[in-house]
Structures are given as C-alpha cells and as structure tokens.
Amino acid sequence: MTEQDAIRMTNEVFIDSFEIPKDKLAPQANIFNDLGLDSLDIVDLVVALQKKFGIMIRSDERVRNIRTLGDIYQFILVIKKELEK
C-alpha cells in the first residue's frame, strides 16, 4: 500500500462515515478539535478503518495516541507493513 492509497482511503472514511468536507482533510487536522469527532466517533472510526483496510486495530494501544489525520495515515502504513512481514 502506498502512502497516497492510505491518505485517499482514510479520507474516504472521514467523508463517508463522518460527513467531513474534503477541504478540511489536511494531515495536520486534529480529529477532535478540527474535525469534531468525539469518544463515540472514535469507536466508529476504528470500525470503519478496520473495514476499509481489512485490519484489526480494536485492541491496539497505539490507537490512543492518534491525534491528527496525519497520525492515522502513518498508523495505517505501519500496520500494513507489519502485516506484510
């Protein structure tokens, strides 16, 4: 998976599941303060990312460190790399 794929597919999740306008989806956007997600949304974000990327991250402690959209892009790439090993 390329970085561009991770960005595009993650952005699709934010557009489809959270109805965030495309122009707000910048890597530095804080998913809570800038994009308006809350604790319930984080559960649904995990569900949506798992489905989109075919991964299991529900019990992954690293999810707790995610703050920005860029953090998600990088996290997805790391997970995908781990799966390739």
Partner 1 sequence: MQLRRVVITGLGAITPLGNDVATLISGIESGKSAVEHIPEWENYIGMRCTVAAPAHIENEKLIPRQNRRSMGRLSIFAVQAAEQAIKDAGIKSGSLTGGKLGCVMGSTMGSAESIAEAFEIMGTGKDLSKLSATKFFQCVSHTAAMNVAQYLGITGYVLATSAACASALQAIGTGFDLIRLGKQDIMLCGGAEGLHPTVVGSFDVLYATSSNYNKEPKKTPRPFDSKRDGLVCGEGSGVLVLEDYEMARNRGAKIYAEIIGYNSCGNGSHVSESNHEAIVFCIQEALKSAGITFKDIDYINAHATATIQGDKEEANAIRHIFGDSVPVSSLKGYIGHTLGASGAIELIASLIMMQKGKIYPTLNLEDPDKECSGIQHVMKPVNKKINILLKNCFAFGGINAVLICKSTRP
Q: Is 44 in the site for partner 1 (CB under 8 A)?
A: yes
Alpha-carbon dihedral of residues 5, 10, 11, 13, nearest 10 degrees? 130
68 - beta bridge partners?
30
CA distance linking residue 71 with residue 66, whole number of Å: 6
Q: Is 83 in the site for partner 1 (CB under 8 A)?
A: no
Q: Is 50 in the site for partner 1 (CB under 8 A)?
A: yes
Q: Is 71 in the site for partner 1 (CB under 8 A)?
A: no
Q: Is 32 in the site for partner 1 (CB under 8 A)?
A: no
Name the DSSP class of 22. G
Report the interface residues with partner 1, using CB under 8 A: 18-19, 36, 38, 40-41, 43-44, 46-47, 50-51, 56, 58
